[in-house]
Amino acid sequence: MKMNIALLPGDGIGPEVIEQAVKCLQAVEETFNHTFVYKEGLVGAAAIDKTKEPLPDSTLRLCKKVDAILFGAIGDPKYDNDPNAKVRPEQGLLKLRKELGLFANIRPVKVYDSLIDKSPLKKDIVKGTDFVIYRELTGGIYFGEKKVNENGTIASDLCEYSEMEISRITHLAFKAANKRNKKLTLIDKANVLESSRLWRKVVKKIGESYPDVALNFLFVDNAAMQMILNPSQFDVILTENMFGDIISDEASVIGGSIGLLPSASIGNGHALFEPIHGSFPQAKSENTANPIAAILSAAMLLDHFHLTEEAEAVRMAVAKALSKGVVTPDLNPKSKFGTSQVGDFIADHIVDDEHALIMNDENIGLGRSTII
């Protein structure tokens, strides 16, 4: 298969984790005989520095014509503490989502048995956690009308949703639930917000066409608590933009490190894949950032194009790295492996299952791996 992929490494640790994801995609190309063509684009603070824009037109044009986008991270502390900054790196990502119509953000959360001790929660609580968040991504308070009065003392952000915006992601979430454990939880604040009441109404109605899926509702404050008390109760979570942003950061630590979680943003014929972690500027160029979230995002990209065996080969290689302790310092402070060594190991272990290659693990201790 031939595929054009735009690489948008962005800021902070973005470039180094994307480099590892590309290594793994190249291993997939070789192993499974595909051709992926990569083209780089500027985004975020890196783009502001060069062009004064967080999403230059050339990047948007590139993203519109490729099959898929692999995104690193954006954000730079020099903008975070300046409320008067007119341009911000984040605007680049928000504009990209809106322009490409990426209305569904899919964030799987899975606890690996080999990492269970890393979780801040008790083993018994997190064991077996495996859910996926469907976060609406192009509506709600993020994109509603923003106002500030003349003297800058009153500000507001409108949270608006239409039935159409709710129903298109709801169908995707129900379809996912049908293929999984057939449970869908809508997280909202319907006891207070009119927009949440519309979500409930629309989701209930759509639920009638998915009779095999058990639908339940949780207020977002309760959901935040349930996620810590009993995360394995969830299967598919559906929620609006802002609640999804908050809940997914909370969910991301259940498995031990935010550095493990990938995401896909899809809609209207475009698809973007990105690790859910941020740009972590303190770790930039230190070769310590965990590349696994970016690598698993590449696996989601493969899945999206029905390259299921290829995606599985990437995930198997990741599982191998985790079980052999080939991990970055966020997962083991004493680890001698850095971002690029973990990337090399995973790329080296991407194998075609049918040919069941035998791994020679003896060299792992040396920070190298070979396949015989």
Catalytic residues: 142, 189, 221, 245, 249
Q: How far is CA 256 from CA 8, 59, 287, in A?
A: 27, 34, 20
Q: Please, which residue, 116 or 132, has the CB nearer to ligand IPM?
A: 132
- CB of residue 244 vs Mn ion: minimum separation in angstroms? 8
For the bound state, the minimum distance from the C-beta of residue 245 to Mn ion, rounded and expressed in Å, comes to 4
How many residues in the shown chain lie near ligand IPM by CB under 6 A? 4
Q: Is 90 in the site for ligand IPM (CB under 6 A)?
A: yes
Count CA within 13 A, CB hemisphere, residue 342: 37
Tokens 């809609």 belong to which residue? 267
**Sequence-separated (6 or more) residues with CB below 8 Å from residue 47:** 53, 54, 55, 56, 59, 89, 92
Task: Give the shortest CB-45-to-ligand IPM separation in angstroms.
Answer: 12
The one of Mn ion, ligand IPM, none whose footprint includes residue 312, by CB under 5 to 8 A per kind, is: none
Nearest residue to ligand IPM, scored by beta-carbon proximity: 90
Report which of 164, 159, 208, 218 is spatially closest to residue 186, judged by C-alpha positions.
Answer: 218
The CA-based dihedral angle spanning residues 284, 42, 350, 270, taken in that order and rounded to the nearest 10 degrees? 130
Nearer residue to ligand IPM within complex by CB, 217 or 243: 243
CA distances from 351 to 3, 141, 301, 314, 370 (A): 20, 44, 18, 8, 12
DSSP type of residue 193 = -
Cβ of residue 73: shortest distance to Mn ion, in angstroms?
A: 11
* Among the listed residues 22, 46, 93, 326, the single contact to ligand IPM using CB under 6 A: 93
User: Which of Mn ion, ligand IPM, none binds 206 (CB below 5-8 Å, type-dependent)?
Assistant: none
306-309: Cβ within 8 A, 24+ apart: 307/1, 307/28, 307/32, 307/34, 309/32, 309/352, 309/353
Per-residue string for binding with ligand IPM, 306-325, x by CB under 6 A? Answer: --------------------
Q: Which does 90 bind (CB under 5 to 8 A by kind): Mn ion, ligand IPM, none?
A: ligand IPM
Q: Which residues contact 144 (CB under 8 A, 6 or more apart)?
A: 157, 158, 159, 160
> Between residues 277 and 315, which has the closer beta carbon with respect to Mn ion?
277
Residues 16-55 that bind ligand IPM (CB under 6 A): none
Residue 91 CB, nearest approach to ligand IPM (Å) = 8
352 near ligand IPM (CB under 6 A):
no
- CA atoms of 108 and 318, how far apart (whole Å): 15
Mask 244-263, x = binds ligand IPM (CB under 6 A)? -x------------------
Residue ranges in contact with ligand IPM by CB under 6 A: 90, 93-94, 245
